């Protein structure tokens, strides 16, 4: 009895090993998936971005766009540090953990994808070169502004220029697919910023017209403005940029 159970255990062990080998083989043989998605999944610096793609089910669309035919595809991938630098912890948690914010996440992710270029982007300056009137039209339908700001670097801006970030790393990763790492902050569409602030900091209620809905710069430190420059006073309308979204004092141009 004892020997038969011992041999059974031995047999079971080898069966387990066989299963492990099969699992390993099937994992290594399954090399499906674009380099883009594999990089986003594999590099720890993109964990927030990757999880957002995964949980909002936008990942399948991203994968699909990597095989777009005859066009070029650019993904702006903010690093975890960029998300943490530009979003209040409360906003980040709200976006990550509240299923009801899925629509906002999808909008944010769509703003970070460009499918309207026809020439593969191989370096940062290409982004400025291929932009139309300084604008890169995103999957969301609103533009990211782009300007060349150095011999080999460009700066991205939201339309109101409330948010900006310098592009340091541009990687062609698949045929006509380019991964742009946003490691110095991210850009968010202006009206989407407001939506996020209202949803995540305004108690989720839709404001009545004329009522200042957005918690005004409770967090943003006072900006030092040079006295020689005339800075228009912050408009009380909801069209002024939602500074509360920003965790730090991001430079405005
Ligand atoms: C791309 O389009 C061409 C022409 O329409 C077609 O022949 C080719 O099979 C397409 N390739 C892919 C990968 O869809
Ligand atoms: C890649 O871009 C080139 C140049 O725009 C284009 O001619 C080619 O069809 C594209 N390839 C694919 C697979 O989309």
Could you give the 3-state DSSP secondary structure of residue 113?
strand
Going by pLDDT thresholds of 50, 70 and 90, the confidence category of residue 110 is very high
Q: Are 87 and 104 in contact (CB under 8 A)?
A: no
* Cβ < 6 A, ligand 2 pocket: 69-70, 72, 118-120, 175-176
If you measure from the C-alpha of residue 51 to the centroid of ligand 1, how many angstroms do you get, rounded to a whole number?
31
Q: Please determine, for residue 1, whether its predicted confidence score (pLDDT) is greater than 70.
A: no
pLDDT at 214: 42
Predicted TM-score (pTM) of the model is 0.71
Phi and psi at 118, nearest 5°, equal -115, 0
Q: Which two tokens stand for residue 176?
A: 């006509």
Best probe residue, ligand 1, of 69, 73, 175 (max atoms within 8 Å of C-beta): 69
Q: What is the pLDDT of residue 217?
A: 38
- The owner of tokens 């595809």 is 73
Which residue's CA is minimally distant from atom 2 of ligand 1?
A: 69
Looking at 113-127, 157-171, 201-215, which range is the least confident one?
A: 201-215
End-to-end CA distance of the chain, in Å? 81
Strands (E), 119-247: 135-137, 143-150, 153-157, 164-167, 169-174, 177-182
Task: Please compute the mean of the pLDDT values over residues 37-60 and round it to a whole number.
Answer: 96
From ligand 1's centre to the CA of 65, what distance in Å? 14
Domains along the chain? Answer: 33-188 (2.30.180.10)
Q: How many DSSP H helices and E strands does the chain contain?
A: 9, 8
CB of 69 shorter than 6 A to ligand 1: yes
Q: Give me the pLDDT at residue 20, please.
A: 61
Residues 81-93 have pLDDT tens digits of: 999 999 999 999 9
């Amino acid at each position: 009895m004892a020997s038969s159970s011992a041999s059974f255990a031995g047999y079971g062990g080898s069966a387990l090993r066989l299963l492990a080998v099969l699992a390993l083989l099937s994992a290594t043989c399954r090399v499906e998936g674009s380099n883009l998605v594999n990089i986003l999944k594999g590099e720890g610096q993109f964990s927030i971005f990757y999880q957002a793609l995964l949980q909002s089910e936008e990942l399948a669309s991203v994968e699909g766009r990597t095989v777009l035919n005859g066009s070029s595809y650019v993904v702006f991938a903010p690093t975890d540090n960029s998300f943490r630098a530009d979003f209040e912890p409360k906003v980040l948690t709200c976006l990550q953990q509240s299923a009801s914010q899925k629509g906002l996440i999808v909008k944010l992710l769509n703003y970070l994808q460009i499918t309207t270029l026809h020439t593969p982007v191989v370096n940062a300056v290409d982004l400025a070169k291929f932009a139309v009137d300084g604008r890169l039209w995103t999957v969301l339908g609103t533009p990211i502004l782009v300007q060349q700001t150095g011999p080999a670097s460009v700066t991205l801006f939201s339309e109101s220029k409330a948010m900006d970030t310098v592009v340091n790393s541009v990687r062609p990763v698949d045929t006509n697919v380019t991964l742009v790492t946003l490691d110095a902050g991210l850009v968010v569409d202006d009206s989407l910023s407001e939506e996020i602030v209202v949803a995540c900091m305004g108690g989720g209620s839709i404001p009545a017209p004329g009522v200042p809905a957005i918690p005004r710069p409770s967090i943003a430190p006072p900006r030092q403005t040079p006295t020689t420059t005339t800075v228009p006073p912050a408009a009380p309308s909801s069209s002024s940029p939602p500074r509360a979204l920003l965790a730090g004092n991001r430079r405005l141009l």
